[in-house]
């Protein structure tokens, strides 16, 4: 009876095993895709300095409020770094520099690299460099060993009275230092749940663009750093200065003294494009994002963040006429010079921050013409009072799809309800890759099940042959003839 039950259970058990195998293969493909996506988003490996060495950092003018924008050794989110830097740098009341553990290029999301102006050691040794404000962006390994110097540096400055601005999941980094203990704080909406478990001593707040508790300000996701930085400008340089910068950057819905309330986001089915694009990056297009001398930091951040850093819809490659380019307010960014290997297979060439074709470097324009690329200017005709993220999100919807553009706005916590998005409805490339991966996983599981079934039948057949019934059992034993008696 037991054997009969086991025989009847074989088929459903094989089906279950096949489904588990298919799920494991599909999960492995997804994790492999995410790993590939993150590897492209945060380039690793050393970068050799030019023959003459890296250029010297500019000095810090006296009499100004000093702002240090920290950069993580493990990589930082581009939209957490560049826009707050520009907010402060737009005012001559502030002196702004970037700082990291070592003065060597570090990665920003979207494939960009930046050369820090200063090191933690330099800042500690020079009283003139001591920051009044520290901007802490989201980093890849907020609690990892690589960021131990950054955590220690922030903790020392917070204890010494510096104001701290934690942008997006930069609050995870701050929580790891202990500076948020006993305070109210916020973070990127998708991170708050895990932070409540890992750091229950912090009073986590949802539905706020930023939260201030004493000298510590924390913001919601990515673009909320603009509002958080404007708040500190208002407090340190006056409402008039904040209003002027705010009008120029035109962050939707922001006004001096305005409400900080925002929607309380939660995971939803509409987030699926974010997952699909991250898990299935193969055959996605490559977009060259041109670093033009003097381009606005927020314009550049919008391109890297929207096309790649958050949407994962494309692979972005920083290109320029030279190996380096300085932004409008002096940040030194690294690029692939046009004509190099990485810039040889681009599908598009985008030039953020440039208002007309005359602003394109002639060397880059000539190279693009030889390659058959048409430089695209998402910020064409714009200027002060034109949001940097709007035209790039509109382009993502038109060139990619509306669902990805909406998910990108949600994951950057950018107010995009005013945008009239048009374009394809859904990201079909990663969806087809998911379907293909699912089909292959099921085919593999079916093949394994069929082979297992055949192997089981062969074993059963061989076992039957080894247990042939005896002659007596078959009734073949000779019986005596009664007549012979």
pLDDT classification of 471: cutoffs 50, 70, 90: very low
State the Cα angle at 182 between 179 and 186, rounded to 5°. 75
pLDDT exceeds cutoff 50 at 485? no
Distance in angstroms (rounded) separating the CA atoms of residues 238 and 145? 39
Q: Mean pLDDT over residues 366-383, rounded?
A: 92
- Top-level CATH class of 28-44+269-431? alpha beta
Element at 263 (helix H, strand E): none
Number of separate helices (H) and strands (E) present in the chain: 14, 18
For 157, the 3-state DSSP assignment is helix
The separation between CA 430 and the C-alpha centre of its own chain, rounded to angstroms, equals: 17
- Mean pLDDT score across all residues of the chain: 92
**Where in the chain are the domains?**
28-44+269-431, 65-249
106-164, pLDDT tens digit by residue? 999 999 999 999 999 999 999 999 999 999 999 999 999 999 999 999 999 999 999 99
Q: Is 186:132 a contact under the CB 8 Å cutoff? A: no
pLDDT classification of 308: cutoffs 50, 70, 90: very high
Architecture of domain 65-249: 3-Layer(aba) Sandwich (3.40)
Q: Mean pLDDT over residues 306-324, rounded?
A: 97
Q: Is 280:434 a contact under the CB 8 Å cutoff? A: yes
Strand 332-334 relative to strand 324-326, pairing: antiparallel
How far CA 418 is from CA of 259, 387, 413, 415, 442, in Å, comes to: 18, 12, 14, 8, 43
pLDDT of residue 344: 63
86-106, pLDDT tens digit by residue? 999 999 999 999 999 999 999
Percentage of the residues of the chain whose pLDDT score is greater than 90: 81
How far CA 104 is from CA of 52, 99, 229, 233, 360, in Å, comes to: 14, 10, 26, 29, 28
Q: Classify burial at 407, counting beta carbons within 10 Å of its beta carbon; exposed 0-12, middle 13-18, buried 19 or more.
A: buried
Where residue 141 falls (left for φ over 0; alpha for ψ -120 to 50; beta otherwise) is beta
Query: 218 vs 484, which has greater pLDDT?
Result: 218
pLDDT classification of 463: cutoffs 50, 70, 90: low
Least confident of 85-89, 327-331, 454-458, 477-481: 477-481
pLDDT exceeds cutoff 60 at 289? yes
The reply to whether 28-44+269-431 and 65-249 are identical in fold is: yes
């Amino acid at each position: 009876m037991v054997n009969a039950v086991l025989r009847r259970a074989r088929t459903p058990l094989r089906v279950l095993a096949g489904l588990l195998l298919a799920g494991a293969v599909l999960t492995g493909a997804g994790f492999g895709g995410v790993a590939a996506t993150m590897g492209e988003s945060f380039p690793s490996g050393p970068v050799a300095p030019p023959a003459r060495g890296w250029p010297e950092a500019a000095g810090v003018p006296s009499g100004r409020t000093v702002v240090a924008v920290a950069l993580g050794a493990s990589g930082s989110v581009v939209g957490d770094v560049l826009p707050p830097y520009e907010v402060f740098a737009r005012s001559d009341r502030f002196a702004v520099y970037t700082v990291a553990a070592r003065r060597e290029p570090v990665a920003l999301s979207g494939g960009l690299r930046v050369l820090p102006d200063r090191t933690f050691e330099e800042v500690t040794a020079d009283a003139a460099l001591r920051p009044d404000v520290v901007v802490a962006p989201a980093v890849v390994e907020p609690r990892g060993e690589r960021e131990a110097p950054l955590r220690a540096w922030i903790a020392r400055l917070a204890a010494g009275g510096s104001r701290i601005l934690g942008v997006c999941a930069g609050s995870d980094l701050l929580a790891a230092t202990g500076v948020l203990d006993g305070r109210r704080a916020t973070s990127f909406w998708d991170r708050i749940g895990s932070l409540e478990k890992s750091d229950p001593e912090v009073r986590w707040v949802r539905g706020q663009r930023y939260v201030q508790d004493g000298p510590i300000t924390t913001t919601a996701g990515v673009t909320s750093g603009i509002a958080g930085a404007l708040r500190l400008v208002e407090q340190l340089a006056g409402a008039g200065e904040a209003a002027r910068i705010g009008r120029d950057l035109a962050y939707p819905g922001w006004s001096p003294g305005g409400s900080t309330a925002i929607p309380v986001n939660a995971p939803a089915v509409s987030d699926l494009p974010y997952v699909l694009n991250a898990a299935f990056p193969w055959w996605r297009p490559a977009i060259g994002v041109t670093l033009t001398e003097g381009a606005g930091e927020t314009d550049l951040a919008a391109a890297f963040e929207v096309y790649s850093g958050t949407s994962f819809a494309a692979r972005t490659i920083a290109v320029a006429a030279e190996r380096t380019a300085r932004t409008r307010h002096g940040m030194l960014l690294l690029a692939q010079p046009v004509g190099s290997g990485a810039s040889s297979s681009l599908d598009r060439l985008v030039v953020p921050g440039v208002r007309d074709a005359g602003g394109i470097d002639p060397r880059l324009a000539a190279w693009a013409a030889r390659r058959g690329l048409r430089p695209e200017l998402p910020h064409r005709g714009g200027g002060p009072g034109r949001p940097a993220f709007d035209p790039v999100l509109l382009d993502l919807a038109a060139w990619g799809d509306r669902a990805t553009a909406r998910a990108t706005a949600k994951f950057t916590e950018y107010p995009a309800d005013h945008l009239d998005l048009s374009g394809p409805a859904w990201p079909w490339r990663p969806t087809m890759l998911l379907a293909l991966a699912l089909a292959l996983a099921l085919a593999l599981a079916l093949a394994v099940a069929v082979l297992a079934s055949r192997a089981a039948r062969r074993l059963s057949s061989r076992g039957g042959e080894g247990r042939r019934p005896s002659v007596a059992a078959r009734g073949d034993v000779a019986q005596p003839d009664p007549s012979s008696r």
